[in-house]
Structure 1
C-alpha cells in the first residue's frame, strides 16, 4: 500500500457491487464460503465477489485446508464491501499492513464487515472504536478486555453500525450477509438467495446466539414450528396464549424459551415480522398502503406508517420508491 490511501474514483458506467473477502492466515473455511455463496453472481443480483490475502498466492486455512487467492491487499482499494472471515489463533496480532489497508478502505467509504473472530481484525485496525460490536460468544470477553473502548454485545447474531458490521459465529455470518442484501436490494432478493441456500430468510440481529446452557431443551430452534405457524397468520390477531398453546407450553415457560431463542418478546418478534412482510409487499406489488396494512395484521395505513418509521426510519412510500423492482 506504500502508506498512501488511494482516493475513491468516480465512474460513469454502472458496475456490479464489488465484494472482497479478505482471507487471512488461519481463516475458517465456512466463514470464507458464506459470503462467496451469498454474493455469487449466479444469484442474478448485482454483486461480484472475489478473495484476496495479504499477498496473492496460497493462504493456509484452519484445519487441513488452504486457499489460493488471486490478489493481495491492493484489491481492497476498489472494493465496495470488504468482509473479514474469522481466523485462528483467535486475537493474534494483526499485521500492520492489513490494518492500514482496512483503514484506507474505511476512509474512502467502503463498507467493512466481519464474521466470527474477524471482529478482532476490525478492532485492531481501530474501526470499532466507540461502536457496538459482536463476535463468537467464546471470544467476546477477550475482545472486551483488549478493546475496552468497544461496546461488546456477546448475545446477538450481528450488529449493524452503518458502514461497519460484525457478526457472531459462522452461521450468524449467513444472517449478516443476507442482512446486507436486504439493506442494498430489499427483502425479496434476500429471501430469494436464502431459499436457494436452504436457510432461514430472516433472523434479526438481536436474536440470541445459542450459548451453552444447562438445559438442553432450551437450545436450538425448539420453537421454530410455532414461529412458522405465526408467520402464516400475520393477518389475524395473535396472542401469547395462542402461541404458547401451539407450542404446548405454559405461557411463562413459552415466554422464557422464546426470549432465549430470539432475543425478543413474542410481540416484538411478530411486529418485526409484520413490518418485514409489508416490506416485501411494497417491493413486489402495487397494493395501496392501507391494503398492505390489513394483509400483515397492522390494521390501518397510519399504524403501518408509525411502525415503519420507528423500525426503519423511512415511510412505506419512501421504501417503495427505493426498492420496488430493485430485485
Structure 2
C-alpha cells in the first residue's frame, strides 16, 4: 500500500506537551465499527464503555533515562539507546555518528563512558559501557528521559518528565519510549474498572526508539520494521485464553501490547507464551487473532501505528475519526488524548 494513504494535516497546536491532570481526565474518542457515530468521552468513563468479563492488557515496561550527551575528544556525541544486546552493550541511534569509529571512547559525564564497537545495517552504533555497575545505574546518573522528538523539539526535558513519562504499571526496566496509552490510568480509574468486573493483565514489550522513526519508503511492502524484545509468561497466556473461552473481550492498552499479543497468537487464536524479539508490521488486510479492541493515543501521519489502527478499524474509518478529533480539538501523540477502538 502507498504510505501517502495514511497522511493527514495536523495543526501544531494540537501536539500535547504535557499530560492531562489528573491523567484520567484526558478526553477519549469512542470509535466503533460500521457507521456508528463517533462519541466523545473522558478516559474516566472507560469502565462504562466495557463489559464485565472484558480484560485490559497493559505493558509493564519501564522507561529508562536512555538519552545521553557526551564527547569523543572535541566532538559532541548524542546517543539514544534503543535495544539491549547484553548486560553491558546497547544499540544506539547516535547524533554526529560520522565522528565515531570502532574503538572510539565516548565520555558521557558522571564517570560514565562507553566504547563504540560497531556500526549496524540500520545505522545504529553498538555501545559497550565501561565498568562493573549495572548500565541502568549509569543511566540514572548520566541520562535523561527520552522524550519523543515532537515534544523534545518544542521544550526541554525536565524533572516532571521522570514521573509524567512513566505509567503506573511500570516495573520492568528496558523501554526507551513509554507505552503511552497506559499513561492515562490512575488508581481511581483502576478502582472503577475493578468494581465493573473488568479484569487486567500485564505483559512486557521493551519499546525501542525505532517507534519514532519515520517511514522513509513510498510503499509499505518496502518498510523494514524495527525489532523489540517482548515476554508473555505461560500463566498470563492461559488466563487470557480463558477470557476468550468465557466470551470476554481482550482489549489491548496500547499498540505495544497489541503487537506482542498478535506475535504470540497462532491461526488457532490461542495465545502462547512468548519470549523474544518481534518485528511484526500490521497493515490493512491483516487478520487479527488475539485482540478484540484497542485503547490508544492519536498517532503520527504516515506512521506504522497509523497503519496498525487502520488495519483494525479500516483506513476510511480511521481517517474520519482523526478528522473528527482534529475538528474537536483533541490533543495528539504521547502526552495527548486517547481513543477506544472497538471493531
> What's the TM-score once normalised by structure 1's chain length?
0.31
Whose helix proportion is higher, 1 or 2? 1
Query: TM-score normalised to the size of structure 2?
Result: 0.30
- Larger relative CO (CA 8 A, sep 6+): 1 or 2? 2
